[in-house]
Structure 1
Amino acid sequence: MHRCLELNEVLQRIARSLGFDPLLKEPLPKRLLNMALTCRAFRGPALDELWRELKDIAVLLRLFSKHRVGRRHGRLVMISPPTEAEWAIFEAYARRVRIIDVKANSVDWHSVMKFHPNKQLFPNLSQIGCFCDDMTRYLPILTQSPVKRLSFSFRTMQNASALAGCVSTCAKTLNALTFIPDPNTCDDEVAESLLIADMFGPLRFLTTVVIGTPHSKTLDCLGALSYLRTLELHVFPIASHYNTEPLPFPVLVEVTINFSSSQSLDAIARLLGRVDGPKLQGIHVLPTQKIPRRNSEQLMDCSGVNEVISQVGKFAELSLLEFDTVEEVWDVPEGGRTLLQHLLPLRRMAQLHLSRIEFRLEVSDLKDIVEAWPNLWSLHLGERVAHNPSRPPPTTQLEDLLILADRCPRLNTIGLLVAVDPERTYDEQRPPFGQSKSGASALCLGPLEKGDYYGAAAFLASVFPRGEVVGQWDLDESDSWSEVSYHGDDRGPGSALDNLYETIKIITGQMARVGLHHDNSCEDCEYCSLLSDDEDVLLDDLSD
């Protein structure tokens, strides 16, 4: 329990369950931790959070005596019936389990159920993730509870049929389904389409669907889900044949499409052309993590960028657009201004994140943005604030974005694509900019190739002294991302340097292993203390 309470995310969930305000600027985690370690009222919520999700269900068998559990064919099995007292302890913990993520078949659950006195093993189970084919035969045991969310993948159509049978048993309560076939082995589109048609038939009340490698017949089946609010498509393929009939989604609010190559952008544009979503508010077009990074001389073919943006412009209620192209797109057909012209009619736009697309903005464009999107609060365009000789020069100046920040009262995040010359310090190449009068923050996106990371962040903190500067950098070739936050205040650029290492937020545990560190390490520095030997163990645990 004590180790559980040391995790900030767990403390935040406990705070919400106990009625605390999670948005307080006070050092809430520290206060909660001190209270939790001294107050018995926190014991129940802490144990609930600790046992809320199981990634290895074999841990439950450790609650029994060693002579009750054995190993057969590499799996744990029950070899003798436990006592009533042992079952009581087991059920006390099993009641707290809400989420099971099954990735390995390490337990013979039929041997457990043979001695279990009750039918339901996990009475409060609401979410199952099954990513191992061998576990399909145990799903009937796990789906006896009213499961609300079910995620699974399969390699063969036989396993898929078994999974479809389990889906039908919890059709009345299921509202979220993740369905990911293996494209390397499940290549029978006819069988897959028939399976999906049978499976989605009783699931009329699904609100969230995530599907991998969908073809046109799969999408046609989704059109019958009239209550669908969230749709996510993984590894969207290049469709050789494509239906042009509209897909009616009357209450669809958010759609996410992951693509595996630049050629599939055309297929995404055709899909968005079919979608009839009068209430669609958010669109995410994101690359998969498997796309290889290429050299700057081999930039992505962006012929489909304009097509996707033009289709997005038809959704009148759209307020969030996120479009990431993985690689820098410099030669947008007909210029970046054409892309904005497709989006300006969207009066409800509040978040616009177009990553790695170079825009050719002018003062007239900034005026159009201010007039078209008065409620805009997060803007990220492919803007460069410093010149790197190895890449094309920037086409606009940071002063224009400062004007935009000062004219949009609700704008609190501006995305900037920073390029740094590795041969010079950032102070030597930065132009003399002023300070933003607004409280907007700057999102500084890499890659900063061997550049002055802290100098760039300190410079942006001086430009946005009342806000926050957040840097996201690809630190090495293994896709280990980290996020570092720098806070400024009203006293100007001097205080930004003083607070350079004040707040460090680590997304993955890779940060300590890639050597991102400042030169003058010291005992009193908060940043150095984060990377101590003891904390490295915690980071390793969090990254698993």
Structure 2
Amino acid sequence: MHYCLGLDDILRIIFSCVLEDIEAGRESVAHLAATCQAFHSPALDVLWEALPSLAPLIRCLPSDAWKVEKLRQHRTITLERQTSPEDWARCQKYTPRIRRDQSSVTRVEPEIVDILDKYEILRFPNLRYVGWWQSGVLPHRLLLVPSLEILEIDYHGYGSIPLRHIIGALPSATPLLQKLAISNRCSFAAMLLLGLPAALSTYFILPDNALQHLARSSVRELCSKNDAKDLVRCTANDSSPFAQLHCISFQAVNLADCSQLFERISTGFLESLTIGLVVGSTPADIAIEKFFETLKRRCSVAVFKSLSIHELESEFEVWDSPSHIIKLSTIKPLLSLKNLEVLCMELECRTELGNSDMEAIAKAWPNMTKFDLGFNESGWGNASQLTLEGLVSLAKHWRNLQSLSLSIKSSIIDVGLERPGLGATCEKLIFLDVGDSLIEDPHLVAAFLSDVFPNLRTIMSSPEDEESQELWQQAKELLPVFSNVRKQERAWANANATVFLWPSHHLRMLTTSLNRPLPPLVH
């Protein structure tokens, strides 16, 4: 056996890849755990790293101690007899390997959870994440452990007493907690956050006293449904509010309020910003540009990486307005933030960007991984002047791009047929959304995309006319076929040390025989 297979870290990586197989992954890793002593511990680590619920642990009890039955429309594990410490010792063998518990699939009878919580029969010394979305109260003595970093709770419909106990236990029980998410519309829940450690994320509207407390703390992440005006009002008396903030998400009626907020809060550590615009508040392009000027002035070039602005709902009121068109001048202030990796602008605005515009954008942000200039999967209008040739620039400069959403004039074929990308490829792109982009030749488009984005898996489109819908559907069906041809071509060229590249017009002729391997190439 190769000496690398004696290293547990390498084996865990290999077994994690095996586990990704949806149908047979878990069974395969279980077989690997039983293969030899060297594989046993790393394979068990992978198998038990993340639990869908507490049910797998309960199943480790003797078979006569439990059963699964349907209670209130849910598959639930119940006890058949009284258990002993020896029974539970079989479960304790696996708990140190568990890093994530996500109690949402097969449910466990509340009585069992109460027993585990009350008598602390099981211990989870390495637990990092808990997601509790069951109807029962979170067993805090069981799952709130010193190693916990992320806690997500759904307490919809519950009163304040259970939640107060949970939150009251957090400061001492979970000193390493970095993120708390509570899905609860009850206003009382926000009041209980005042005594929490600084690392905090919430998903409801916070009252003013909670916001004021957080502004003076060293909170790193704040996600709430508060309006920007709330944050402006609650930071009025602080000299340097949110001094340690790394990530912030909030709602707004207009971007002017957002600019005012960013003039006030500390932004030196800010990495990520998400703004949800309420209904009917689509900003004009000049308002967007002014807000971007504020970000340029206030955010750190070295630190800021992610910006997302989206409308919470659509009314299609300003779709054709000449004052609501995103142009290069609109985005230009952001180009100075050189480390931007994510830009999502899902607004009710058309885009008016050409090939040279996109090349300037691509050169400014070499680390881009997700670029989205769209609107709720409904298209971007046909003002865009970006053609297939413009996508070559993106492939050339954005080597880490994984997701791309923007309108293109794919009806204009302005690339060479011999090798569309002239060698420029982006191998990490797997998702492309073209909105209502026009198309005329699905064969050439699919051939182009398979060359420039060889690992592209998904194309989304939403054209208005039926003909374009049908043509894009053809391109989607042809893409994986052409991609397989490209892979065979490259594999053959590498094996024979002689480069021969199938031209796009040859690929069109291969569409009727693409389920067979390519024949040897003679030249």
**TM-score, length of structure 2 as denominator length:** 0.64
Tell me, what secondary structure is at the counterpart of 1:135? coil
Identity %: 15
- Which residue number corresponds to residue 170 of structure 1? 173
Identify if the C-alpha distance between structure 1 residues 307 and 393 changes in structure 2 by more than 3 Å, giving closer, same or farther: closer
**Number of corresponding residues:** 441
Mapped to 1, the partners of 2:333 and 2:215 lie a distance apart of 26
Give yes or no for the alignment of 1:460 onto 2:448.
yes
What is the CA deviation profile of residues 114-142 of structure 1, one whole-angstrom value per residue up to 9, with x for unaligned ones?
A: 996x6544343332222345314x22333
- Partner of residue 279 from structure 1, selected from 269, 273, 278: 269
Distance 1:523 1:160, change over 3 A: same
**Relative to structure 1, is the Cα distance of residues 215 and 457 closer, same or farther in structure 2, using a 3 angstrom cutoff?**
farther
* Structure that is richer in helix per residue: 2
Matched, 1:233 2:233: no
Task: Give the Å deviation of 1:321.
Answer: 3.0
* 2:384/2:407 contact within 8 Å kept: no
Maintained 8 Å contact 1:405/1:411: no
C-alpha distance in 2 between matches for 1:142 and 1:430: 58
User: Aligned partner of 2:331: which letter?
Assistant: L
Contact 1:382 1:417 in 2 (8 A): yes
8 Å CA contact 1:120–1:145 kept in 2: the answer is: no
Counterparts of 2:263 and 2:40 in 1: how far apart (Å)? Answer: 52
Q: Are 2:354 and 2:384, in contact at CA under 8 Å, matched by a contact in 1?
A: no
Pick the aligned partner of 2:283 from 302, 310, 330: 302
Partner in structure 1 of residue 143 of structure 2: 142
Match of 2:5 in 1: none
In the other structure, the counterpart of 2:333 is: 342
Aligned AA for 1:124?
Answer: N
CA–CA distance in structure 2, aligned partners of residues 16 and 495 of structure 1 = 44
As a proportion of its length, which structure holds more strand?
1
Contact 1:55 1:102 in 2 (8 A): yes
User: Quick check: 1:315 aligned with 2:299?
Assistant: yes
Match of 1:209 among 188, 201, 224: 201
1:43-80 Cα offsets, whole Å, 9 max, x none, are: 32222222222223234333334553478997755564
CA shift digits 1:30-52 (9 cap, x unpaired): 9xx79948555333222222222
1:68-115 residue CA offsets vs partner (Å, 9 max, x unmatched): 347899775556443454233122233333222234663313663499
- Asked whether 1:473 is paired with 2:460, we answer yes
Mapped contact 2:309–2:345 kept (Cα < 8 A)? yes
Contact 2:262–2:294 (8 Å) recurs in 1: yes
Change (3 A) 1:165 1:54: same
- Mapping of residues 81-480 of structure 1, within 5 Å: 81-83=82-84, 85-103=86-104, 106-109=109-112, 112-113=115-116, 119-132=121-134, 134-136=136-138, 138-143=139-144, 146-155=147-156, 156-172=159-175, 174-183=176-185, 186-187=186-187, 191-198=188-195, 200=196, 203-204=197-198, 206=199, 209-226=201-218, 228-229=219-220, 231-235=221-225, 237=227, 242-245=233-236, 248-253=241-246, 255=247, 257=249, 263=253, 271-285=261-275, 301-303=282-284, 305-306=288-289, 308-313=291-296, 314-317=298-301, 318-323=303-308, 325=310, 331=321, 333=324, 335-349=326-340, 351-354=342-345, 358-361=350-353, 365=357, 369=361, 373=364, 375-378=366-369, 380=371, 382=373, 391-400=381-390, 402-403=392-393, 408=397, 415=404, 417-418=406-407, 429-434=411-416, 435-437=420-422, 439-441=424-426, 444-447=432-435, 455=443, 458-461=446-449, 464=452, 468-473=455-460
| Residues 462, 492 of structure 1: 8 Å contact kept | no
Deviations 1:350-388 (A, max 9, x none): 5545456644336775675477x274555736499xxx9
Q: Deviations over 1:4-28 (max 9, x none)?
A: xxxxxxxxxx8656477999xxxxx
Give the Cα separation in 2 of the matches to 1:114 and 1:393: 61
Distance 1:458 1:89, change over 3 A: same
Gaps of 5+ in 2: 1-7, 18-23, 464-475, 491-498, 518-523
Q: Is the 8 A contact 2:444 2:504 kept in 1?
A: no
| 1:170 shift after superposition | 1.5
Structure 2 SS opposite 1:212: coil
Task: Return the alpha-carbon distance in structure 1 between the equivalents of residues 340 and 9 of structure 2.
Answer: 32
Give the partner amino acid of 2:172. Answer: T
* C-alpha contact 1:278 1:315 (8 A) present in aligned 2: yes
Q: Secondary structure at the match of 2:59?
A: helix
Q: CA 1:240–1:111 in structure 2 vs 1: closer, same or farther (change >3 Å)?
A: closer
**CA displacement at 1:196 relative to structure 2:** 1.4
* Aligned-residue offset at 1:151: 1.7
Please give the root-mean-square deviation of Cα atoms over the aligned residues, in Å. Answer: 5.2
- Quickly say closer, same or farther: Cα 1:122–1:474, change in 2 above 3 A: farther
Computing the radius of gyration from Cα coordinates, the structure with the larger value is: 2
- Matching residue's letter, 2:83: P
Which one scores higher on RCO, CA 8 angstroms, separation ≥ 6? Answer: 2
Distance of aligned partners of 1:66 and 1:363 in 2 relative to their CA distance in 1, 3 Å threshold: closer
Aligned partners of 2:462 and 2:36: how far apart in 1?
42
**1:41 matched to which residue of 2?**
38
Instruction: Return the offset for 1:278.
Output: 0.9
1:218–1:115 Cα change, 3 Å: closer
Q: Deviations over 1:434-483 (max 9, x none)?
A: 43345342652144699899747614326627x5445342799xxxxx99
The 8 Å contact of residues 223 and 249 in structure 1, kept in 2 or not, is answered as yes
Q: Tell me, which stretches of 5 or more residues in structure 1 are unaligned?
A: 1-13, 24-28, 293-298, 421-425, 477-481, 501-518, 526-544
CA contact (8 A) 1:349 1:376 kept: yes
Distance 1:402 1:449 in 2: 17
Per the alignment, residue 296 of structure 1 pairs with: none
Distance 1:223 1:368 in 2: 38
TM-score normalised by structure 1 residue count = 0.62
Residue of 39, 45, 54 corresponding to 1:57:
54
Contact 1:244 1:274 in 2 (8 A): yes
- Whether the 8 Å CA contact 1:337–1:359 is kept in 2: the answer is no
Q: 1:433 is matched by which residue type in structure 2?
A: V
Shift of 1:197: 1.0
CA contact (8 A) 1:278 1:316 kept: yes
Tell me if the contact between 2:65 and 2:81 (Cα under 8 Å) persists in the aligned partners: yes
For residue 283 of structure 2, what is the amino acid of its counterpart? C
Whichever residue aligns with residue 295 of structure 2, its letter is V
- Displacement of 1:322 in angstroms is 3.9
